[in-house]
Amino acid sequence: MFDFIFKKDYTKIIRISVGFVLALWVAEIFGLMYSASAGLIALLSIQTTKKETVKTAVQRFAAMTVTFALVFVIFKLMGFSVLSFGVFVLIFSGLCVIFNAEIALPMNTVLASHFWIEQRLDASFYINELLIFLIGAGFGIILNLFLTSKVSNIRKTQNEVEGELKRIFNGLSNSLLNRDNSLLPDKALHELKQTVKSAQNEIRSYADNTFTQDLTYFIKYIDMRRSQIKILYRILNSIKKLNISDDIKLHTEIVAEYFKEISKHLHECNNAETLLKQTDGIMKAFRNSELPKTRGEFENRAVLFQIMSDTEYFLLIKNRFANDLTIEQSYCYWNSGERKSIN
């Protein structure tokens, strides 16, 4: 019921609190007027990711220079009246909307209000406001730049995906050997789908929190596993259609044992070539076997052949992923410059 509470980003709450206090404290040390505004700017500058924080800070800095120029022109010409401040808000908000920089409107309006309240346009007060902005935005950027988001978390999720795949193929095998659809890994397949979805979100989040690391490998890996999951659903549904009888027992056992073989050798660092050769051999054997004698046997054999065809496609997806890796990616993630042909 309260799962949504635990899914919130509580590290952001800590960054906001720490950023506010540090910015306010430093502004106080420098003896700046309206030092609390530095804390508010830090609070508003901290976004979910590093890239968002930097982008927001750049937008607000550009908007600040416009604010300073408008403040000087409008208050010089019209004085420090309610009307003049209204004119500033009208022009500045219009520019923010035109240039899609609405995010800078509240912060810079606050800075403009300082000029209006103090009725000053001298250089020292401009410096005061500039320092308030730089301190606040600076702490927002610094706290997010030190946000911890590690590749090791993604690698851990990858290991979970590999483990769940092994369990699924074992479940498919056990279901065929025992002629029991209740042993089919429906729940495990659903959990795998959710794990891969979570991994995809994690990779996207990390991509927005790094400026140097290329995450192409992880993105392609997750796309590959998502494609394979669709095939697994097809295989699972095909098995449900089987009416396993003695006349296809041998063929069923061959497929079941083959699924166990796949579960043994499933691993991130392989190109599936050996398994593909085994798949081809099994399908040739099926084609060369004695023709079915009954309609039921024919339909069951057709379903088994479809299962093997889908399994072949499942392995081909992995094979293409492996062959598309660059030498650098192989060295970095597979600890080898060669395409491994373990299985």
Q: For the chain, what is the total number of helices (H) and then of strands (E)?
A: 14, 0
| Proportion of the chain above pLDDT 90, given as a percent | 28
Task: Flag whether pLDDT at 32 surpasses 90.
Answer: yes
User: What is the average pLDDT value for the chain, to the nearest integer?
Assistant: 81
| Amino acid of residue 202 | E
d(CA 127, CA 276): 69
Read off the DSSP letter of residue 336.
S
Structure tokens at 232: 């697994």
More confident residue, 7 or 73: 73
| Least confident window among 152-156, 189-193, 206-210 | 206-210
| 88 touches 105 (CB < 8 A) | no
Report which DSSP code applies to 49.
Answer: S
Model confidence at 159: pLDDT above 60: yes
**Which pLDDT value is given to residue 177?**
84
Distances (CA, A) of 225 to 69, 161, 228, 313, 318: 54, 8, 5, 12, 8
pLDDT at site 285: 81
- pLDDT for residue 297: 73
- The model's pLDDT over 33-48, given as tens digits with 9 standing for 90+, comes to 999 999 888 887 766 5
Distance in angstroms (rounded) separating the CA atoms of residues 246 and 238: 18
Q: Is the pLDDT of residue 102 over 60?
A: yes
Average pLDDT over residues 117-142: 91
User: pLDDT category, 67, cuts 50, 70, 90?
Assistant: very high
Q: Per residue, what are the HEC states of 192-221?
A: HHHHHHHHHHHHHHHHCCCCCCCCHHHHHH
- For position 249, what pLDDT does the model report? 74
Predicted local distance difference test score (pLDDT) of residue 230: 93
**What's the rounded Cα separation, in Å, for the pair 331 and 328?**
5
Instruction: Please give the residue that has the higher pLDDT: either 29 or 175.
Output: 29
Least confident of 14-28, 122-136, 217-231, 268-282: 268-282
Whether the per-residue pLDDT at 112 is higher than 50: the answer is: yes
Please tell me which residue, 91 or 338, carries the higher pLDDT value: 91
Nearest 5°: phi and psi at 46?
-80, 115
Check whether 213 has a pLDDT greater than 60: no
Q: How far apart are CA 40 and CA 224, in angstroms?
A: 44
* Interval 261-313: pLDDT, tens: 888 887 777 777 888 888 888 888 878 777 766 777 778 788 888 988 999 99
Residue 343's pLDDT band (boundaries 50, 70, 90)?
very low
Q: Distance of CA 207 to CAs 160, 200, 203, 298, Å?
A: 20, 11, 6, 51
Arithmetic mean of pLDDT, 86-114: 90
Where are the extended beta strands (E) located within the chain? none
> Residue 4 pLDDT more than 60?
no
Exposure of 291 by Cβ count < 10 A (0-12 exposed, 13-18 middle, 19+ buried)? Answer: exposed
Look up the pTM and report it. Answer: 0.57
pLDDT(247) > 70: no
The pLDDT value recorded for residue 104 is 83
Token pair of 247, please?
């006349």
Q: What Å distances lie between residue 151 and 157, 204, 256, 270, 332, CA to CA?
A: 10, 12, 36, 20, 12
Tell me the C-alpha distance between 311 and 263, whole Å. Answer: 12
At residue 5, the pLDDT reads 46
Mean pLDDT of 155-172: 86
Q: Evaluate if residue 68 carries a pLDDT over 90.
A: yes
Cα–Cα distance for residue pair 171/169, rounded to 1 Å: 5
- Mean of pLDDT values over 145-163: 71
- Give dist(CA 274, CA 302) in Å, integer: 24
Name the more confident of 287 and 2.
Answer: 287
